[in-house]
């Protein structure tokens, strides 16, 4: 068993760290958060260096990196700054749908524009009445001649207002039993926004404020048949396969957010003096850091193992769920403790840990809540005699 990263992987990690430390500045994040603005220039810069969707094959403008290598980059980005790192990563995440299930024409049309940083994208699965349970949907698409008529509402869609395309899960066969066997994914282009496709920004939210969260309203929108992803009736399965991979990426985000908050708190603890000594000299403080360190180390190992298994072509639903559940939990715990280490200063925006704390909260909610991850793991455990 080898735990070491290869020299090439260490180089990728170092390059991502150096880039993010130089470019993903906390002051920039604070400014962008106030304006609720996506870090477009930084996304483009990251793309120019090959850091955006680097797992996409070279034929489509990517680097052909492994999922483990992608996880190393995502961790460094979210460590350098939680809000910028998460926004940059989330804008490219949906392209996995195209890369894994798209036709040659679809891959050519969309992927190079993602890896070059020209395009950002959004995933549209959630509906007002269907969140954790997407085995039934109210959004329908009826095939008429050579196009679908798409009707329904999607909500909480990350990057909704800035996306150049949307991967929309919908019911194409209303008579399917069970319903999920009649679902498909349609790729909807930004250019289709108009009277039959509205995008509305939702209200203010707790964290990840460099991303938009939007409602998409389809009102009989015509979507060409060529925008169907793969085959009709495969949409739910595509979404489940997507989650197997994306949960590893979300878990890597969580490790980065936790590590970044740890870094800020660690530095502060050595500088801040009380009772005539740095607060880092108090055993109660040291124990906090020990607990944080062990949690981060455990989460990172789970992420690397899940990514490694995925790269070997093995089924990783359970391991990915474990990594996502655990890493998200510890990101919440570590960022909470990081605020505590900074005391009153930690409560103020200028010190950034409160932003990491707020950003961490979503990690236990999107891409399947903590409870849903436990259901996935339990289902696997109890399906065996």
Ligand X SMILES: Cc1cc2nc3c(=O)[nH]c(=O)nc-3n(C[C@H](O)[C@H](O)[C@H](O)COP(=O)(O)OP(=O)(O)OC[C@H]3O[C@@H](n4cnc5c(N)ncnc54)[C@H](O)[C@@H]3O)c2cc1C
Binding site for ligand X (CB under 6 A): 122-126, 131-132, 156-158, 205, 208, 213, 362, 365-366, 368-369, 371-372, 375
Ramachandran sector of residue 25 (left: φ over 0; alpha: ψ -120 to 50; beta: rest) = beta
Q: Any idea what DSSP says for residue 227?
A: G
Round to whole Å and give the CA distance between 333 and 360: 9
Q: CB-wise, 167 or 269, nearer to ligand X?
A: 167
Structure tokens of 346? 């930690």
Round to whole Å and give the CA distance between 37 and 23: 16
Minimum CB distance to ligand X, residue 90 (Å): 7
Ramachandran sector of residue 109 (left: φ over 0; alpha: ψ -120 to 50; beta: rest) = alpha
Round to whole Å and give the CA distance between 72 and 91: 17
Minimum CB distance to ligand X, residue 371 (Å): 3
Minimum CB distance to ligand X, residue 204 (Å): 11
Q: Per the residue annotation, which of 249, 309, 337, 367 is the catalytic one?
A: 367
Q: CB-wise, 156 or 310, nearer to ligand X?
A: 156
Q: CB-wise, 120 or 368, nearer to ligand X?
A: 368
Structure tokens of 313? 């072509």
User: In sequence order, what E strands does the chain have?
Assistant: 121-124, 140-144, 147-158, 165-171, 183-189, 197-201, 213-224, 273-274, 277-278
Query: Which among 118, 4, 119, 121 is positioned nearest to 72, based on CA atoms?
Result: 4
Minimum CB distance to ligand X, residue 169 (Å): 8
Q: CB-wise, 15 or 377, nearer to ligand X?
A: 377
Round to whole Å and give the CA distance between 311 and 244: 12
Q: CB-wise, 71 or 125, nearer to ligand X?
A: 125
Structure tokens of 100? 């894994």
367 annotated active-site: yes
Residue 377, CA distances (Å) to 67, 229, 317, 318, 319 in order: 21, 28, 8, 5, 8
Does residue 192 contact residue 160 with C-beta atoms inside 8 Å? no
Total count of residues recorded for the chain: 385
Minimum CB distance to ligand X, residue 342 (Å): 25
Q: CB-wise, 46 or 208, nearer to ligand X?
A: 208
Q: CB-wise, 83 or 213, nearer to ligand X?
A: 213
Round to whole Å and give the CA distance between 356 and 338: 9
Q: CB-wise, 297 or 371, nearer to ligand X?
A: 371
Minimum CB distance to ligand X, residue 217 (Å): 14
DSSP-assigned states of every residue in 262-322: HHHHHHHHHH-EETTEEGGGSHHHHHHHHHHHHHHHHHHHHHHHHHHHHHTT---HHHHHH
Minimum CB distance to ligand X, residue 366 (Å): 4
Minimum CB distance to ligand X, residue 159 (Å): 7
Active site residues: 367
């Amino acid at each position: 068993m080898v735990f070491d990263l290869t020299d090439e992987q260490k180089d990728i990690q170092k390059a991502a760290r150096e880039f993010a430390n130089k470019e993903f500045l906390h002051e920039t994040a604070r400014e962008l958060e106030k304006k609720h603005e996506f870090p477009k220039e930084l996304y483009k810069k990251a793309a120019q260096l090959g850091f955006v969707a680097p797992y996409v094959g070279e034929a489509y403008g990517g680097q052909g990196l492994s999922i483990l290598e992608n996880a190393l980059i995502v961790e460094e980005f979210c460590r350098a700054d939680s809000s910028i790192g998460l926004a940059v990563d989330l804008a490219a995440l949906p392209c996995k749908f195209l890369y894994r299930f798209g036709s040659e024409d679809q891959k050519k049309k969309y992927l190079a524009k993602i890896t070059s940083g020209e395009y950002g994208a959004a995933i549209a699965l959630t509906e007002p009445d269907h969140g954790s349970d997407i085995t039934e949907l109210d959004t329908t698409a009826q095939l008429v001649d050579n196009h679908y008529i798409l009707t329904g509402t999607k909500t909480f869609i990350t990057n909704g207002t800035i996306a150049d395309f949307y991967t929309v899960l919908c019911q194409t066969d209303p008579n399917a039993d069970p319903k999920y066997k009649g679902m498909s994914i349609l790729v909807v282009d930004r250019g289709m926004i108009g009277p039959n496709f509205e995008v509305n920004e939702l209200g203010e939210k707790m964290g990840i404020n460099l991303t938009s969260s939007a409602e998409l309203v389809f009102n009989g929108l015509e979507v060409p048949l060529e925008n169907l992803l793969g085959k009709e009736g495969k949409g739910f399965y595509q979404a489940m396969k997507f989650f197997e991979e994306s949960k590893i990426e979300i878990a890597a985000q969580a490790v980065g957010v936790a590590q970044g908050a740890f870094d800020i708190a660690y530095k502060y603890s050595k500088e801040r003096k009380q009772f005539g000594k740095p607060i880092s000299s108090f055993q109660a403080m040291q124990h906090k850091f020990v607990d944080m360190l062990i949690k981060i180390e455990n989460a990172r190992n789970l992420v690397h193992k899940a990514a490694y298994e995925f790269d070997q072509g093995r089924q990783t639903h359970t391991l990915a769920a474990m990594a996502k559940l655990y890493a998200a939990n510890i990101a919440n715990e570590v960022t909470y403790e990081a605020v505590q280490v900074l005391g009153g200063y930690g409560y103020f925006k200028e010190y950034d840990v409160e932003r990491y704390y707020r950003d961490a909260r979503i990690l236990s909610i999107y891409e399947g809540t903590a409870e849903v991850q436990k259901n996935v793991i339990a289902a696997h455990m109890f399906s065996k005699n």
